[in-house]
Amino acid sequence: MRNGEQKLSYRLNPAVGWNFLSGGQALQLRFPDGDHLTIDDEAMAASEILESLANGVEPIDCGDMVAEITTLLMDRKALVANRGQSSDWLENMLEYVLAASNRHAGPSAFVEKARQTTFSIRGEGWLAGIVSEACALAGLHVDEQPGPEGHCIIAIADRIAHDAFSAINRQACESRTPIVFFWREVSRIVCGPLVLPGESACFECYRTRVRANIRFGAEFDAFAALPVSHRDHIGSALAEGAARSFIARQLLAIAAQAYDLIEPNALYSYDALMLKLDRQALPRVPRCRVCGVLRTEPTRAIRTLA
């Protein structure tokens, strides 16, 4: 930034591009959704304004043009919060998608909302390190203690940790704290369920459904009881990059409470090797011992009195 230039609280989404048309007489703006818009007047001055907005600094004074272009970009949800070098292309694109899907939100409403959520990480190992990196990349607030606004627990293990996950799931449901689970299955990263206590399926619902659908219950129980071993920690630079992007994307959607982008009653698994994303529906178990009717004493039915 040059001396005297004032930093703005917003900047042009890096996914927005522009180029000159008609030998420099006009300027074409290209938006991430594939839409184009042409500015016919004073293309050179308009490009200088765009350059300033892309750098997040006060544009040079060009009369009404600055206000006109800024308003146009705000209407198109093409401005994002200005966080300087920490801004990430994927995050900005996600921000654009979220803002564009909510016409009433301001240009940085998504980011403002996301920054109010505190994530607490529970778990250790290869994947826990990647989740921490993903949070840092996405600029998400991580703390051991819940923050004053939104709070979400991230439970992680390098292999599905049934007992540990069940215990933390129960605590989260009792304290009505949202929680999301991540684990690894060979080359796949599994995300889910995202538990909104009292509203969506919990980890116990998942465990109950898996247990009910397998043929050999004893084998399942024996595998579930196995401790996570050093072999589950084996990392891979290729898998790490893919996992980091996937996890950052999921956490940003959670932070923004964009439940159309990460559905609570579902499990997502991303295969970094086969480049495959699966979504598996997870309905609540009505008689779940943690989140269902069984968590309280059954009410006495009239027939039991007869």
Residues that bind Zn ion (CB under 5 A): 202, 204-205, 288, 290-291
Residue 200 and residue 193 in contact, taking contact as beta carbons nearer than 8 Å:
yes
* C-alpha span between 254 and 194 (Å, rounded): 8
Amino acid at 149: E
Task: Provide, rounded to whole angstroms, the least separation between the CB of residue 167 and Zn ion.
Answer: 14
Task: Provide, rounded to whole angstroms, the least separation between the CB of residue 192 and Zn ion.
Answer: 13
Nearer to Zn ion by Cβ, of 255 and 290: the residue is: 290
How many angstroms separate the first and last alpha carbons of the chain? Answer: 82
Mapping DSSP to helix (H, G, I), strand (E, B) and coil, where does residue 25 land? coil
* C-alpha span between 236 and 306 (Å, rounded): 65
Nearer to Zn ion by Cβ, of 200 and 269: the residue is: 200
Nearer to Zn ion by Cβ, of 147 and 197: the residue is: 197
Nearer to Zn ion by Cβ, of 39 and 291: the residue is: 291
Nearer to Zn ion by Cβ, of 50 and 290: the residue is: 290
Nearer to Zn ion by Cβ, of 79 and 201: the residue is: 201
Q: Answer whether the bond into residue 193 is a cis peptide, omega within 30°.
A: yes
Task: Provide, rounded to whole angstroms, the least separation between the CB of residue 131 and Zn ion.
Answer: 23
Task: Provide, rounded to whole angstroms, the least separation between the CB of residue 301 and Zn ion.
Answer: 23
Q: What is the largest CA-CA distance in the chain?
A: 92
Alpha-carbon radius of gyration of the chain: 24
Q: Choose among 96, 150, 99, 93: nearest CA to 120.
A: 150
Structure tokens at 68: 């006109």
Task: Provide, rounded to whole angstroms, the least separation between the CB of residue 204 and Zn ion.
Answer: 4
* C-alpha span between 92 and 84 (Å, rounded): 12
Task: Provide, rounded to whole angstroms, the least separation between the CB of residue 276 and Zn ion.
Answer: 27
